[in-house]
């Protein structure tokens, strides 16, 4: 599904990730771990580019349109796959089908009361749930998220990771929380010093081993 072979990635001539080789198979739930700046987003970007139209993408910054409602921001997940006239109609007068689909989706995100509220009036955690909703609404087979639950409390984060895993067969998630990675993912890739320091099935790892990734390199 995804393959990198001796692939180096960098910016402006500076290599950030050196000689990466990895394969990701359908059905895997992969957590990317590593301290801030270790290259998780950079790796996600490389992987996403290989299957852009199959990936439901949840970026690190929600990137919502502030004056539009949660409904409209979530609707935007399908903007590119629907005709212009249909999008325009839904902007002015939301139609029954997207209304029903998005109402069900926001309920599962715990946002029912915020459905028609402008994004600028939502809390940070609510905005990140809208961003998750927009990615889920794309209905693509692979889910990729760059710290998709980092703005949420632990219980909410666990519930939403469960929801993501229930709705997608294959996931690649950059995470900061090692317990979340162990609980929800089948494979953990740890980045440090510009390289893959570990790549193993989650059930063979423990939190202490993963915390070592955050020691300085």
Ligand X SMILES: Nc1ncnc2c1ncn2[C@@H]1O[C@H](COP(=O)(O)OP(=O)(O)OP(=O)(O)O)[C@@H](O)[C@H]1O
User: Between 170 and 177, whose beta carbon lies closer to ligand X?
Assistant: 177
Question: Whole-number minimum distance, CB 54 to ligand X, in Å?
Answer: 22
User: Between 59 and 141, whose beta carbon lies closer to ligand X?
Assistant: 59
- How far is 116 from 149, CA to CA, in rounded Å? 22
Chain CA centroid to CA 105, Å: 16
Question: Whole-number minimum distance, CB 146 to ligand X, in Å?
Answer: 7
Choose among 216, 180, 217, 203: nearest CA to 33: 180
| Residues in contact with ligand X by the rule CB under 6 A | 11-12, 16, 34, 36-42, 60, 174
Burial of 9 (C-beta count, 10 Å sphere; 0-12/13-18/19+): middle
Choose among 22, 42, 25, 35: nearest CA to 190: 35
User: Between 74 and 185, whose beta carbon lies closer to ligand X?
Assistant: 185
Question: Whole-number minimum distance, CB 37 to ligand X, in Å?
Answer: 4
Question: Whole-number minimum distance, CB 191 to ligand X, in Å?
Answer: 7
Choose among 25, 12, 34, 20: nearest CA to 142: 25
User: Between 24 and 115, whose beta carbon lies closer to ligand X?
Assistant: 24
């Amino acid at each position: 599904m995804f393959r990198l072979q001796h692939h180096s990635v960098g910016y402006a001539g500076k290599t950030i990730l050196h000689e990466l080789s990895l394969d990701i198979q359908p059905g895997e739930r992969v957590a990317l771990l590593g301290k801030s700046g270790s290259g998780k987003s950079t790796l996600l970007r490389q992987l996403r580019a290989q299957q852009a139209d199959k990936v439901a993408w949840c970026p690190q910054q929600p990137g919502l349109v502030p004056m539009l409602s949660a409904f409209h921001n979530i609707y935007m997940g399908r903007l590119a796959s629907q005709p212009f006239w249909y999008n325009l109609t839904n902007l002015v007068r939301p139609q029954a089908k997207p209304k029903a689909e998005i109402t069900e989706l926001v309920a599962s995100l715990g946002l029912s009361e915020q459905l028609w509220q402008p994004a600028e009036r939502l809390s940070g955690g609510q905005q990140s749930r809208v961003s998750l909703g927009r990615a889920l609404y794309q209905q693509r087979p692979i889910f990729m998220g760059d710290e998709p639950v980092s703005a949420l409390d632990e219980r909410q984060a666990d519930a939403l990771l469960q929801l993501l895993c229930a709705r997608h067969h294959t996931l690649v998630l950059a995470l900061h929380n090692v317990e979340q990675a162990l609980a929800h993912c089948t494979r953990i890739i740890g980045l440090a010093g510009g390289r893959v320091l570990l790549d193993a099935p989650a059930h063979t790892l423990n939190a202490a081993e993963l915390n070592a990734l955050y020691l300085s390199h």
